[in-house]
Amino acid sequence: MICVLSGGTGGAKFVDGLRQVMPPEEITIVVNTGDDLLWWGLSVSPDIDSITYVLSGLLSRERGWGVKGDTFLCLQAMGQLGEPTWFHTGDRDLAVHLLRSRLLAEGKTLSQATSTISEKLGVRARILPMSDSRVETLVDTPSGEFSFEEYFVQRWYQDPVNSVRFAGASDAEPAPGVVEAIVSADAVIIAPSNPITSIGPILAVPGIRDALLRARGKVASVSPIVGNAPVAGPAGILMDAQGLPCSIAGVARAYEDFLDLLICDVRDARAAEALRGSGLRVQCSQTIMRSAADRAELARTVLAHTVRGPGAGQTLSENSSSDETAAHDADQP
Ligand code: GDP
């Protein structure tokens, strides 16, 4: 059993690699919910949706979010009604938000709603929200404090950032199964996700850091930072705001209390050598995931360095999608 901690973009690409090289039933993904928002009165969980869509084969690879081939008629109609349209939700995507909202209104937890939706979409891996309680990532800027989606999508992450906080985190509990999944996994893999706003909220839930410290398997992270810059998105600005250098050393520092192994890009070979001096195990590999084959290869490499035995490094299904495009690094809607 492999446990992955993930956001919704770099994380989804990595999860796509994993599901190609091992049985999906053996993967548990603990997903960030700090970006969740109420949109037109509906409960939207952007990272859970991306992970659900990638695992059900529905994710739009061109956009990197939402459902492939989706239409946007409702968005258009809402615009005509004078409603906000900065957060793009396709029509099929909306069906998922409607179902989630109904399940939550009936008293189901986010975990239960997530499991119902993923089951209906044929997902065989286990997707767990980090918590069933509301934890909200808030980004403080000179223009005010914004939710993550306001900062990222509405304002195109153009604001300088003073700090980031996770409202509600101190009162939150890990969702059922999260601590057990981390502690008992053969390996815990921190996906190449934003260390501040994707992995940060997960680590801010009391009990999760402790579970990582108690993990039976190795804890490895794939760096989302390559050559002192994020592959895409605002991770550099946000790391800087939180006092971390935008480098593989900054990623290592974000996870220093529990990390056994850092997988970084071959381009960071020199920085890797310096990090090894501090005692951390660092492995250089090709980490840019442009194609399905890149993703599978990275997943295979990570498994080979963290677990041994069945599944490690063995390709079970090369179900690489035929709709690959070069535009995989779009880290924005
Ligand atoms: P979010 O929820 O949309 O913020 O998605 P994630 O946090 O899962 O992913 C965003 C991070 O993924 C960014 O910091 C990127 O640098 C990183 N990323 C995106 N694509 C790649 C890739 O192909 N390789 C690596 N190593 N990192 C990537």
pLDDT in tens, 274-313: 999 999 999 999 999 999 999 999 999 999 999 964 344 4
Nearest-atom index, ligand 1, CA of 289: 23
> From the CA of 121, how far away is ligand 1's center (Å)?
24
pLDDT of residue 264: 98
Check whether 157 has a pLDDT greater than 60.
yes
| Position 245 in a domain | yes
Q: Is there a domain that residue 313 lies in?
A: yes
For residue 204 the two structure tokens come to: 């801010």
Q: Take atom 25 of ligand 1 and give the residue whose Cα is closest.
A: 224
Alpha-carbon gap, residue 135 to 139, rounded angstroms:
13
Does 193 map to a domain? yes
**Distance from C-alpha of 97 to C-alpha of 181, rounded to nearest angstrom:** 26
pTM across the whole model: 0.93
pLDDT tens, residue by residue, 23-46: 999 999 999 999 999 999 999 999
**What CATH number does the domain containing 143 carry?**
3.40.50.10680
| Structural domain boundaries, residue 229 | 8-33+131-330
Evaluate whether residue 299 is within a structural domain.
yes
24 pairs with which residues across the strands? none
| Phi-psi domain of 253 (left: phi exceeds 0; alpha: psi -120 through 50; beta: other) | alpha
| Total tally of structural domains belonging to the chain | 1
**Residue 49 domain-assigned?**
no
Say how many Å lie between the CA of residue 9 and the centre of ligand 1.
5
The answer to whether residue 290 sits within a structural domain is: yes
> Could you give the CA distance from residue 322 to residue 256 in angstroms, rounded to a whole number?
39
Q: Is residue 73 part of a domain?
A: no
Dihedral-angle region of residue 271 (phi above 0 means left; psi in -120 to 50 means alpha; beta otherwise) = alpha
Domain annotation covers residue 60: no
